[in-house]
Amino acid sequence: MVMIFLKEKYLDKKGLFFSTFIYLFFLILIYYLIYPRVDSLLILSRILIFSFFMLFFLYFIGILLLIFGFAVKKIFLFPLYRYYVLPLASTITGIFSRDKKKKWEKFIKLNNKIIEKADLKIDNRNMILLLPHCLQNTRCDIRITTDIDNCKKCGLCEIGELKKIKEKYDIETFVVTGGTLARRVVREKHPDGIVAVACHHDLKEGIELVYPIPVYGVLNRQPEGPCVNTRVDIDQIVYALENIFKIKKIKDK
């Protein structure tokens, strides 16, 4: 779910709503520039007015549905968001925002708030947990990208704790090496809900690409820099599973 505003530190729902006025201004400006060429053609002029009105109306309604959580899991709205609202919102955001990392982080936070409002309840069998391979400690030589169950829970990294979550909630968990593999997993599994851990850019891009599947994004921490021995807030993952997707515990481990 895409987030828009002029000032990076005010990237919130008010800013998302305000973006509709920015878009309206651009449409009026475009019509003003081409009006002298169609003034004498009444039919063409009316067609342009109607077309611009529909463009604004669809964007405005799309933003409202997004803010209030109604856009989540509405399959029939997929074309509206995938090919119009989301790309347009990203474009407007890019015009006014200088710090992309802050913009992406605000977007992820807004997305999570929207997911919380969607009143979801996902069956364990239709839920997946996506993890980046950089959570694995570089000193570990066990291959977990093929199967997280290979983890020996040695305590070097948090993969062991994440394996416990997989077992406790009986949800499919995948450690992926990048966005391409993550998208392939989503295409093959067709989940109803996803908790995804990743860096700013990968998380933002993934949330957009898999829409309308609801994704709760958890940013990884990078104490040693990007893609090396990253960390994650385990409690945030548990919160998302239990309180947002309402997943039931299978085992009390």
Structural domain spans, the chain: 8-117, 124-244
- Can you give the pLDDT at residue 32? 87
CA 114 centroid distance within chain = 10
Tokens of residue 155, six digits: 């305590």
- Can you give the pLDDT at residue 86? 72
Report which of 73, 67, 182 is spatially closest to residue 122, judged by C-alpha positions.
73
Report d(CA 160, CA 144) in Å as an integer: 11
- Can you give the pLDDT at residue 212? 79
Angle between helices 86-96 and 13-38 (to 10 degrees): 100
Q: What angle do CA 3, 240, 206 make, to 5 degrees?
A: 45
Pair 163, 148: CB distance under 8 Å: yes
User: What's the CATH number for 124-244?
Assistant: 3.40.50
- Can you give the pLDDT at residue 136? 94
| Helix, strand or coil, per DSSP, at residue 172 | strand
pLDDT, tens digit only, all 253 positions of the chain: 333 333 333 345 666 777 888 999 999 999 888 887 777 777 888 888 899 999 999 999 988 887 776 766 565 676 787 778 877 876 776 676 667 787 788 778 878 877 887 778 899 999 999 999 999 999 998 999 889 999 998 989 999 999 999 999 999 999 998 888 888 999 999 999 999 999 998 998 888 888 778 899 999 999 898 889 999 999 999 999 999 999 887 765 5
- Can you give the pLDDT at residue 72? 63
- Can you give the pLDDT at residue 2? 35
Kind and range of the H or E run holding 155:
none
**Which residue bears the tokens 């799309």?**
62
